[in-house]
């Protein structure tokens, strides 16, 4: 959490670095900072998340928080300019669940285009997008179109295989399952729930294209959050930052 030091300034006391205020200096990279010479940054990083239910075992903002945490870690490693996150994504599959908000795919696409255009006006022509929500499928076509229309720029979306590893997400661990809750236990101090929160439906992820998640899982969970572990969450987060850093170093630098 944030705490005051008695001088009307906020000091960093929490574990979730992406949500903390920072000084406006090069030494404090993050979404709340602006480098003294922003042009020196080799590329910008845009976290894109979602605001949706997580079965009552994680905050509704989990996806944008994790995406921002990844962006901060990668930005610190490569000197990238970390933008604040787009906190709402294309979560229409979560319709009917309390706390969920979504953008239409074309809305998110236009926001990303506008961000890229605005950065280009001051010379930032390289942009990496880190999505914390697997349902933001529109980002791929949007980036293809941007790169085709603006060959002088380079915009990339970090692939799921890079973010999650070569094996990707397990088909029985898609939403508020062991992997996500492990990261939540590490980042937010979220408690690991009991087995009564576990639910793995007899369904395929593709069904979310025409059915709401709550029709498939009454609790909104698709996985086994009872198997979460904070230490594993920390390792998963660090490994993901390393893979993304290596990928962007090769693609953008």
Write out pLDDT tens, residues 185-244. Answer: 999 888 999 999 999 999 999 999 999 999 999 999 999 999 999 999 999 999 999 999
- Whether the predicted pLDDT of 164 surpasses 60: yes
- Please report, rounded to a whole number, the percentage of residues in the chain having pLDDT higher than 70: 85
For helices 105-120 and 139-149, what crossing angle results, to 10°? 40
Rounded distance between C-alpha atoms, residue 67 and residue 222, angstroms = 20
In words, the CATH class of domain 2-169+237-252 is: alpha beta
Given pLDDT bands bounded at 50, 70 and 90, which one contains residue 37?
low
Please tell me whether residue 186 adopts helix, strand or coil conformation.
helix
Given pLDDT bands bounded at 50, 70 and 90, which one contains residue 181?
very high
Given pLDDT bands bounded at 50, 70 and 90, which one contains residue 21?
very low
Please tell me whether residue 217 adopts helix, strand or coil conformation.
coil
- The answer to whether the beta carbons of residues 142 and 109 sit under 8 Å apart is yes
Q: What per-residue confidence (pLDDT) applies to 4?
A: 34
Which residues share a beta bridge with 223? 199
Which residues share a beta bridge with 47? 130
Condensed to tens digits (0 to 9), the pLDDT of residues 58-79 reads: 999 999 999 999 998 998 899 8
Beta-carbon neighbour count of residue 115 at 10 Å?
A: 18
**If phi over 0 gives left and psi between -120 and 50 gives alpha, with beta otherwise, what is residue 168?**
left
pTM of the model: 0.87
Helix boundaries (H) for the chain: 62-78, 105-120, 139-149, 160-164, 178-187, 213-216, 230-252
Q: What per-residue confidence (pLDDT) applies to 5?
A: 38
When the pLDDT of each residue in the chain is averaged and rounded to a whole number, the result is: 87
DSSP state of 159: P
């Amino acid at each position: 959490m944030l705490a005051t030091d008695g001088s009307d300034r906020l000091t960093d006391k929490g574990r979730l670095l992406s949500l903390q205020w920072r000084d406006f200096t090069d030494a404090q990279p993050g979404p709340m900072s602006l480098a003294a010479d922003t042009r020196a940054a080799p590329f910008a990083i845009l976290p894109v998340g979602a605001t949706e239910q997580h079965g009552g075992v994680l905050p509704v903002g989990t996806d944008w928080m994790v995406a921002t945490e990844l962006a901060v870690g990668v930005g610190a490693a490569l000197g990238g300019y970390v933008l604040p996150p787009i906190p709402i994504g294309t979560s229409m599959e979560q319709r009917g669940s309390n706390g969920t908000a979504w953008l239409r795919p074309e809305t998110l696409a236009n926001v990303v285009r506008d961000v890229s255009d605005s950065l280009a006006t001051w010379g930032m022509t390289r942009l990496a997008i880190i999505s914390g929500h697997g349902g933001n499928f529109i980002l791929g076509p949007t980036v293809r179109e941007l790169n085709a229309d603006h060959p002088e720029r380079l915009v990339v979306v970090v692939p799921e295989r890079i973010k999650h590893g070569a094996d990707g997400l397990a088909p029985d661990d898609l939403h508020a399952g062991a992997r996500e809750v492990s990261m939540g236990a590490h980042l937010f101090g979220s408690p690991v729930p009991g087995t009564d929160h576990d639910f793995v439906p007899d369904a395929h992820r593709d069904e979310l294209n025409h059915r709401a998640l709550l029709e498939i899982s009454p609790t909104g969970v698709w996985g086994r959050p009872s198997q979460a572990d904070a230490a594993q969450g920390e390792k998963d987060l660090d490994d993901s930052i390393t893979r993304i850093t290596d990928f962007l170093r090769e693609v953008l630098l």
